[in-house]
Structure 1
């Protein structure tokens, strides 16, 4: 491992550019397939993963396209002040305003572009910390295509006809290729990799300009995902302390860590301040709880890369490469392991694994070059060793991503009936801007996106008291619910409009007090003449 910031090649090898472009473009294949094979009478929404989240992001982008900086939370019916959701959504929305393409197309192009940029940044980082070209090759492949044992676990479940294990690589935070489906996840990875690269370069040659760049990138990273400070704060402090104790860095060099901490921590602090001063952000923060799965789930999700990374740590130690970069790579997974099980201190535990694949891939790359290839060389010869090693690695890391591609290309959740879109467009044109629409959660997420109207329930975390409302919406549309109870639920919602799908419509078509306003076939819109005022925002705990 390089101790001085490593090699800084003038350009990128052609194979790196081609490989990165192919991987980035491949992440869009499910969307292309869905768009080309959408059945008659349906439309492709442009989303194949994390539907509620990405519909919400597109709501923010649409508001940014209209010139808004503070965003309305259309995923809930409560009246509340607008919220600031991050500069990246303003940038994406502003770009989309001037690009003559549908928003969803611009959104997906940005996702591919960010994936490509991420892999190029990672290559620069690999050149800075790994001297062996073979180690760089394997590390880049792991970063780009890495995944865990999810597919193998699924095979076991099928053979046993029951679930016995859970693999965390179902989570988009854990691996880059899954993150490529969500543009701002990839943006966060770009900034995280860039911050790591700038730190590695700044330690041997500290300058004021370098510290400023580090602080700005750290601030940008936590402006996208504020929760990254939960890992990066302790990581930077611990790394500085150990580096000083072992004299790997002097006080001046450690100022790079301080700059990163000030930038990342300062921006995260602004978000914390906002969550205490804005009632909508406070309500959002109160229910934004993402607990980690059991440790075995993470072990399955990291797959073969974790044991390889452990071996890589000893390979690096054996070669006496104890620079500050090595300390960062070793401490990163250790700090993450603690923080992802630190509830209630960190209520969003599982978010802490974002970027973890970076140090693991680098260490695993060192293991492939320093242990696996020498072992294979003795058995299959010099010329075949690298090819066999790569084939074995791909067999272990590719199946889950291939399954992800197949599932994304075939999921019916990426489509919706064309009549839904017609109903949403009618709502956008015929209802006042402050209209509240009573919906189920799937209808609500698309209604907020396409109509830009407040919905009763549209997101499991951003809708205020989403769990209770989702249950009430389910009860409302249940055919066996008593009319009096249905009227009570609707009256308490404060919604002046009702959107019912063709499957939900039989439960409400004869309900007294409703006026049919628009029938799109797949969806019917009703007006609720005697609707009460929109509900006031209250602490979530007070409604339970």
Structure 2
């Protein structure tokens, strides 16, 4: 590659970096710049409940134990495995020092900055020309599926038969991933690095790239374990296909080296599953219907299918083709592998990459030759225009869902700001709880309870969807605030569950007609315009014990 072309490529990559970073941060900027006067935006644009769980892990990184308290378990023992990524991010926040939100969003932006050049390098391992690589880069970083079509129909008619993956699942497209969660964005970087390094080892017949890839794979396993399982399954299937179908033994050594170095997180998690299952979050994440993925990947899937049909009919399989097809096939099967993968829906992360490469091959190696294969030299200019216009049209087909995702995030922030914010009075009340001694359980409604661990370092009785005890704890909270519950029942409930404080705000008033001011065993310790906080005086037992709540 000439210096001039190399410089143009670097400028293009830099341009894509700037565009992607700007677009992925539009919802966050909107949230901060347009928060209503009575609300405090909490720095989260997607997955509020999940993100507050991650913050709960981060704030405990001031120590060195890999096992932490799950502050969402109420009065239970609540031990949970920390997770390497959240440990490192929490450590960074403590050392710098910066807020948990700054660390979270900073890591997401850093992963985005890293992913774009890694994506170009990854594409260069499978595509030859600069035009192919640049097209693939845009498809990878900005492309999505056809999910925008049913969503626009829904906004017009109010009818929605399915939620397309590219607008409903953050892991489905790299852009959606980079806009939402830092650990998923980093996992995406590591997936591209692992597969790219294995391919480099295969092409050069040198083992050091596979070894580096194995180290990246081990790190991936501690960041997002499900993707390491997918990666190993894909490489295993590729190894079998290469040896049996292509009669090519070159992949054996690179894949064995990669596997030896990367498999240890899987072994470790299997050990935890067999001996210490309680330390792992075990909330199932089931995949949507196959149609959701078909629509979500429609443009790329169609172009990929065109290329694969061409390869089959021409009997022109290359080892790269086999690798990419194995990736798509195995990854797709693992989307419906429950209970083998408890969080099977998370396995979709990275599937966009091989589809983008196959699509680019379909455009440049099937569609363009079909359109201009017999073009005379005199019409060469028209051919060059076509080589620009056709890829541009393909890219344009994949962009609407990306812009829809931005629009949807901003619309939610605009129309439902309270879903991403706290009232200033609520934030002040939680700050008061933060300054009290640790260890107590806080009883509140579900919304405030989700923020209790992050903002107070105390255990929340209620606050996280998906845990096994959620419905039971919600019903018990409703019973506590019900006017029909006796004082003895309330007292025993607080005493039995080690609840030290009762938070009483707007949401708690909706749970029932009980006013904590009337309970002599609750001492008011804080009050502002919206919130009252009571300390449970459980030293004495003036009521007969009850087991009703």
Shorter-chain TM-score tier: 0.7 to 0.9
Instruction: Give the conservation status (yes or no) of the 8 Å contact 1:502–1:521.
Output: no
SS in 1 for 2:138: helix
SS in 2 for 1:155: helix
Partner Cα separation in structure 2 for residue 273 and residue 175 of structure 1: 32
Q: Does 1:505 align with 2:509?
A: yes
Equivalent residue number for residue 155 of structure 1: 152
Equivalent residue number for residue 3 of structure 2: none
Partner Cα separation in structure 1 for residue 67 and residue 319 of structure 2: 41
Q: Does 1:466 align with 2:464?
A: no
Shift of 1:296: 0.8
Query: Which moves more between the two structures, 180-189 or 144-153?
Result: 144-153
Q: Does 1:516 align with 2:513?
A: no
Aligned pairs for 1:119-518 within 5 A: 119-169=116-166, 170-180=168-178, 181-247=180-246, 249-250=248-249, 253-278=251-276, 280-282=278-280, 284-285=281-282, 288-315=283-310, 322-374=317-369, 381-382=382-383, 384-410=385-411, 411=413, 412=417, 413-430=419-436, 432-461=437-466, 463=467, 465-474=469-478, 476-477=480-481, 482=485, 493-505=497-509, 507-510=513-516, 512=519, 513-518=521-526
Partner Cα separation in structure 2 for residue 129 and residue 390 of structure 1: 17
SS in 1 for 2:327: helix
Cα pair distance change 1:250/1:387, threshold 3 Å? closer
TM-score (norm 2): 0.86
Cα pair distance change 1:426/1:104, threshold 3 Å? same
Shift of 1:386: 4.5
Instruction: Give the conservation status (yes or no) of the 8 Å contact 1:72–1:81.
Output: yes
Superposed CA deviations along residues 176-222 of structure 1, whole A, max 9, x for unmatched, are 11111100001101110000110000013344433421221111111
Instruction: Give the conservation status (yes or no) of the 8 Å contact 1:494–1:531.
Output: no
Number of equivalent positions: 518
Shift of 1:375: 6.0
Instruction: Give the conservation status (yes or no) of the 8 Å contact 1:166–1:300.
Output: no
SS in 2 for 1:74: coil
Equivalent residue number for residue 535 of structure 2: 527
Instruction: Give the conservation status (yes or no) of the 8 Å contact 1:437–1:498.
Output: yes
Partner Cα separation in structure 2 for residue 475 and residue 11 of structure 1: 67
Query: Which moves more between the two structures, 13-22 or 176-185?
Result: 13-22
Shift of 1:59: 1.9
| Greater C-alpha Rg | 2
Instruction: Give the conservation status (yes or no) of the 8 Å contact 2:79–2:279.
Output: no
Shift of 1:440: 2.6
Instruction: Give the conservation status (yes or no) of the 8 Å contact 1:444–1:458.
Output: yes
Shift of 1:81: 6.4
SS in 1 for 2:537: coil
Cα pair distance change 1:12/1:452, threshold 3 Å? farther
Instruction: Give the conservation status (yes or no) of the 8 Å contact 2:445–2:507.
Output: no
Query: Which moves more between the two structures, 151-160 or 106-115?
Result: 151-160
Query: Which moves more between the two structures, 38-47 or 185-194?
Result: 38-47
SS in 2 for 1:204: helix
Partner Cα separation in structure 2 for residue 444 and residue 106 of structure 1: 22
Superposed CA deviations along residues 92-121 of structure 1, whole A, max 9, x for unmatched, are 122222335433123212211111211211
Superposed CA deviations along residues 228-260 of structure 1, whole A, max 9, x for unmatched, are 244223222111111112346326x41221233
Cα pair distance change 1:97/1:158, threshold 3 Å? closer
Shift of 1:11: 10
Cα pair distance change 1:407/1:227, threshold 3 Å? same
Shift of 1:339: 1.6
Unaligned runs of 5+ in 2: 1-5, 541-549
Query: Which moves more between the two structures, 180-189 or 79-88?
Result: 79-88
Cα pair distance change 1:46/1:68, threshold 3 Å? farther
Instruction: Give the conservation status (yes or no) of the 8 Å contact 1:315–1:366.
Output: no
Partner Cα separation in structure 1 for residue 484 and residue 200 of structure 2: 65
SS in 2 for 1:131: coil
Shift of 1:130: 0.6
Instruction: Give the conservation status (yes or no) of the 8 Å contact 1:495–1:531.
Output: no
TM-score (norm 1): 0.87
Partner Cα separation in structure 1 for residue 7 and residue 236 of structure 2: 33
Cα pair distance change 1:70/1:347, threshold 3 Å? closer
Question: Larger relative CO (CA 8 A, sep 6+): 1 or 2?
Answer: 1
Partner Cα separation in structure 2 for residue 346 and residue 407 of structure 1: 30
Instruction: Give the conservation status (yes or no) of the 8 Å contact 1:248–1:323.
Output: no
SS in 2 for 1:526: strand
Instruction: Give the conservation status (yes or no) of the 8 Å contact 1:28–1:108.
Output: no
Unaligned runs of 5+ in 1: 1-8, 533-544
Query: Which moves more between the two structures, 349-358 or 509-518?
Result: 509-518
Partner Cα separation in structure 1 for residue 206 and residue 366 of structure 2: 37
Superposed CA deviations along residues 372-415 of structure 1, whole A, max 9, x for unmatched, are 44566689943543454355334432222222223323422221
SS in 2 for 1:497: strand
Partner Cα separation in structure 2 for residue 489 and residue 140 of structure 1: 57
Superposed CA deviations along residues 300-358 of structure 1, whole A, max 9, x for unmatched, are 12131111121132455577663333212101111122221122222222111111001
